[in-house]
Amino acid sequence: MCRHELTDESWAVIEPLLAPPRMGRPVRDRRQVVNGILWKLSTGAAWRDLPERFGPWKTVYERFRRWSANGTWDCLLAHVQQHSDAVGSIDWSIVCIDSTTVRAHQHATGARKKGQHWPGEAIGRARGGLTTKIHLTCDGHGRPLAFTLTAGNVNDYTQFEAVMARIRIARCGPGRPRTRPERVAADKGYSSLKIRAYLRRHGFKDAMPERIDQVNGRIRRGERRCHLNRATYRRRNPVERCFNKLKHHKALATRYDKRARHYQAMVTLACLQLWLP
């Protein structure tokens, strides 16, 4: 087994959800195909450069494209998160949220407008050139719970509610999905009246510093500054460590995919690896 491939324990978790079709000619070994996709994720190489041990590159790419379209990767991630929550390994005491910017390679541009699901395929011009932004939230252990993709020139606070709304961990038995952490930690880029009102409305305790212009405005109006729980705010670094682990994959550190749904599938697959044993 090579460094980028699935272990026996990891494959035993996801194998039941990758059932082969009941009709048609025999398909290629699914574990071999998934290992080929993981090799592509880790190295960032072109699909045509896939080693021969993974089979024909076009077969691996077509399976990746099909599973990206039908939501297979999302189902795998939801299944592993559900199992982790059932055994109590998710730290719901705090949820950290932040974003990271990814440079888009020249091969990621030029996608056809027909069939687009994201405006501009989630690529925008920012200070660093053409970029994509990943908005992500993770638990206290630094494992990703949910994320969204936007163009690189989209402000962080505009995606706060969208990312929080995506936190839905289904229960193994009856009951509603789990969506409510005890605390939410974020940097001052998310400090706004709208976000603080959202947190109060949903009963979340927040650890979020104010920007200097907001502080000066409160002083001019004679208002009291928002209380910052510094002990909780020090626990915000798991989201930075999570981004660090995700960007070990070269296909994530630099975006090569033209279609946003394919890049989203790569991010989902990288998040899945952080949950697998």
Report the pLDDT value the prediction gives residue 205, as an integer from 0 to 100: 86
The stretches in the chain having pLDDT less than 50 are none
Q: Identify which of 142, 204, 208, 205 has the alpha carbon closest to the alpha carbon of residue 179.
A: 204
Residue 272 lies in a domain: no
User: How far apart, in whole angstroms, are the C-alpha atoms of residue 146 and residue 97?
Assistant: 10
The CATH number given to whatever domain includes residue 126 is 3.30.420
Maximum Cα interatomic distance, the chain, rounded to a whole number of Å = 75
CB 106 within 8 A of CB 127: no
pTM over 0.75: yes
Report the pLDDT value the prediction gives residue 223, as an integer from 0 to 100: 80
Report the pLDDT value the prediction gives residue 226, as an integer from 0 to 100: 79
Domain extent at residue 125: 91-256
Report the pLDDT value the prediction gives residue 56, as an integer from 0 to 100: 92
In this predicted model, what pLDDT tens digit does every residue of 93-136 receive, in sequence order?
999 999 999 999 988 887 777 656 666 789 998 887 899 999 99
Report the pLDDT value the prediction gives residue 45, as an integer from 0 to 100: 94
Residue 129 lies in a domain: yes
Report the pLDDT value the prediction gives residue 18, as an integer from 0 to 100: 83
Rg (CA), the chain: 20
Please calculate the CA angle 266-119-159 and round it to the nearest 5 degrees.
70
CB 82 within 8 A of CB 116: no
Q: What distance lies between CA 39 and its chain's CA centroid?
A: 19
Class of residue 4 by CB neighbours under 10 A (exposed 0-12, middle 13-18, buried 19+): middle
Please calculate the CA angle 78-243-49 and round it to the nearest 5 degrees.
80
Residue 61 lies in a domain: no
Residue 25 lies in a domain: no
Residue 27 lies in a domain: no
Residue 185 lies in a domain: yes
Residue 240 lies in a domain: yes
Residue 40 lies in a domain: no
**Helix, strand, or coil here: 88?**
coil
Total tally of structural domains belonging to the chain: 1
Report the pLDDT value the prediction gives residue 28, as an integer from 0 to 100: 66
